[in-house]
Chain A
Amino acid sequence: MSRIFIHGLGAVSPGGWNVENLRAAWKENVPLPVQDLPRPGWNKPLQVRNVPPPTSRPAFLAHPRLRRATAVAQYTVAAALEAIGGDAAQIQSGDLRLGIVVCALSGSVNYSRRFYEEVLREPATASPLIFPETVFNSAASHLGAFLGVNAINYTLVGDDGTFLQGLALAANWIAEEKVDACIVVGAEENDWIVSDAIQLFQRKTVHAAGAGAIYLKKNFSDSAAKLVAVTDSFSFTQKQSRVEAARKMRAQLPPCAGNELFSDEKVKTIFGEAFTASAAWRCVLACNAIRRNELSAANVEIVGINQQAIGARFVKAN
């Protein structure tokens, strides 16, 4: 029997900088407006869904580690802090051991692309300020530094299903008492190179940016949702087709009435394709609906873009 409870949710999305904005856009069920993104060498711009500017400058940006951080790091920290809420002080004082898991597909791609363009122009003058931010784990590192967390901190890279791998990893860390609590974030940022790549495979897909976060703890709370299960991750291989992987994943989850509510198609139609962040938004929306007593249980089934089929089940904690 699982004893892992979801104590907090966070989101940064094309809908805005918190879970309420995410939920409002999802409830409205209308695709959010797209923005033009110039693509070098093309007359016609690409179309993306950006995260709108925050209504006020987030206080965390004053932290020295975050002043020149990437967009993906800013989204990661914002979503994580919303999810952690009032526990931040306990974490910062060292009274609560926090594990950090950040999941990404394209990571800090904007700085990577910019840095490599600088290298192509003149390698001797490429910016040493940008390069360190290009590592996949820079966002997780900044989050850890902001919270003063010295415990275990992993960055997982993979397709959208990787967010659920991260949830399972976090739940196991807590169950095995490696940490007292864990924050799991899926985060992505926009750049023309990613939108350009998506167009090669899915012409109608609009790339989006943002992050979703889930905060897990062992303690019971009657306002919480509970993580009941994360299925195996069924990889798409020569021996196991995408269809077969999806079938096996679904066979590990009990039937659930509200599956279509948090479907991949609906979330991506409204917000766009944000890979691990999209997966995180679906989980955040599902847990949010459970916390509001709109549902007693929800499955999130992810048949990822090119790696895996994986699912999770959340129920009302009682």
Chain B
Amino acid sequence: MLFPSQKKTLGSNRVVVTGAGIVTALGTGWRTNADGFRAGKTAFRPVTLFDVSRQRAKIAAEIDLPENFPATQLSENNFKRLARASKMLLLAAHEAWAQSGWQSEENLPVVLGTTSGEMSLGETYLRQALELPPSQKNQPSRIRHYQVQQQGIDLCNAFGFDGNVTTISNACASGANAIGHAFELIRSGRAEKVLTGGYDALCQLTFAGFDSLQALSPNPCRPFDAQRAGLSLGEGAAILTLENFDSTRKRGAEILGEIIGYGATTDTHHLTQPHPEGNAAFAAMNAACASAKISPEQVNYVNAHGTATPQNDATEAAAINRWIANGASRNLFVSSTKASIGHLLGAAGAVEAAVCLMALREQFLPPQISVNEIDSAVRFQIVREPMEKKFEMALSNSFGFGGANASIIFRRWS
């Protein structure tokens, strides 16, 4: 039952990560991405997926999907019907699933975050619907695969399991909210394992939307730079297999890291602009610390939301400054990996969670090399060069349109 939930009788309520799959414009898989983030590589290039010739910005962090995909239980016909976002999601899920050693089972919950799912299919549907003479060719399939629930069902079918599929669409915090919700399902005993993450593919509607707001930078984004000119969009997916520690220990699975805290708040200031003092961001970070039962000074690294828009970075800097005054270490290191792969919208929180796990496991801090002159509002250390660093805890921030704010705290597994 979803309610009242039959709590699993497990000795521990610790939530560990046993699999992580990631696809970004840096490449596919943990190794390629870890190497890329460790070096602070960037992956921006001219947009090829749709026409941007009449827009202010013309670059994004596009993914080159592989020609060959790993085998799953999806039939050839079903695989052929998958569009771009579903394929990214499948790649990330395959890596996480293989790493976790999970087997097909009944009642494995799936919690995903996305802002637009397969919006490119919706765009194609509308363009064809407006054409004359009318044609319904391929339209039913587009509608079926456009809907976000289908992407969750596709994952069930690909790996041969059944489970409750939940999709959270909280704008750019979607991926973080999905992982946070999955974390809470396990910690409260409502689930033993959860497949979770986020995904979003580039599409014309979203690109033109951010361009219309003049939020896109014509050049690769420079988070927390005094001269930052806006965000750069990207695409990708990340999937984590979360599991109760006792369940993991029983089967002797390898543990990649631990999630220890999650905080979610709402900024009611404006639909697209954060409160200037970052009240809700500050509250989300504090709520995550309270959930983790740690104090702010125990966090060594923050993977910032850091979109490089003037408002976001000023607000987030204000929130982190207050957090430092509230006890966080003055030696706190902060970076925004959007400098490498752009803003992945609904996937951002999930991909940045995977980056935190990589950084903790391999003990490095991901730099943002493109920053020239740090904004005067910043009172913490921005990671500007590749850095090997022994550290124990990382916090990831995700803030979205509509005021959805989420923070997640990860701990190194030793």
Contacts and interface: CB of A to CB of B under 8 A. Distances in A.
Interface of A: 1-2, 4, 40-42, 65, 100, 105, 107, 112-113, 115-117, 119-120, 122-124, 126-128, 131-138, 140-142, 144-145, 148-159, 162, 164-165, 167-169, 171-172, 175-176, 193, 196-197, 200-201, 227, 229-240, 252, 306-308, 310
Contacts of A231: 1-2
Contact of A237 (B156, B188, B205): B156
Interface stretch (B22-30, B141-149, B293-301, B321-329): B141-149
Given A137-B404, A235-B156, A306-B150, A126 B208 contact: yes
A238 B73 contact: yes
B171 interface: yes
B266 A150 contact: yes
Contact of A138 (B136, B149, B271): B271
Given A133-B271, A150-B268, A151-B266, A308 B3 contact: no
Given A122-B54, A123-B211, A151-B265, 7 more contacts: A40-B130, A41-B130, A136-B115, A145-B268, A172-B2, A229-B1, A308-B165
Contacts of B402: 135, 137-138, 140-141, 153
Interface string B265-297: 111100110000001100100000000000000
B266 A233 contact: no
A306 B126 contact: no
B404 A201 contact: no
29 contacts: A1-B4, A119-B204, A120-B130, A123-B52, A124-B55, A126-B211, A126-B212, A128-B214, A133-B271, A137-B169, A137-B170, A137-B400, A138-B271, A141-B402, A141-B403, A144-B403, A152-B264, A152-B265, A157-B117, A165-B2, A172-B3, A193-B125, A197-B143, A200-B136, A234-B162, A235-B163, A235-B164, A238-B73, A307-B153
Contact of B157 (A119, A152, A154, A237): A237
B171 A150 contact: no
Given A113-B126, A167-B3, A238-B73, A144 B211 contact: no
Interface residues of B, number: 77
Interface of B: 1-5, 51-52, 54-56, 73, 107, 115, 117, 122-123, 125-127, 129-132, 134, 136, 139-140, 143-144, 147-150, 152-153, 156-157, 160-171, 177, 181, 188, 190, 204-205, 208-214, 264-268, 271-272, 279-280, 283, 400-404
Nearest to A171: B3
A165 to B, nearest CB: 6
Contact of A229 (B3, B127, B169, B271): B3
A105 B56 CA distance: 32
Contacts of A201: 140, 143
A100 B107 CA distance: 26
A104 to B, nearest CB: 8
A131 to B, nearest CB: 4
A144 B268 contact: yes
Given A144-B403, A232-B2, A135 B115 contact: yes
A3 B319 CA distance: 38
Contacts of A240: 162
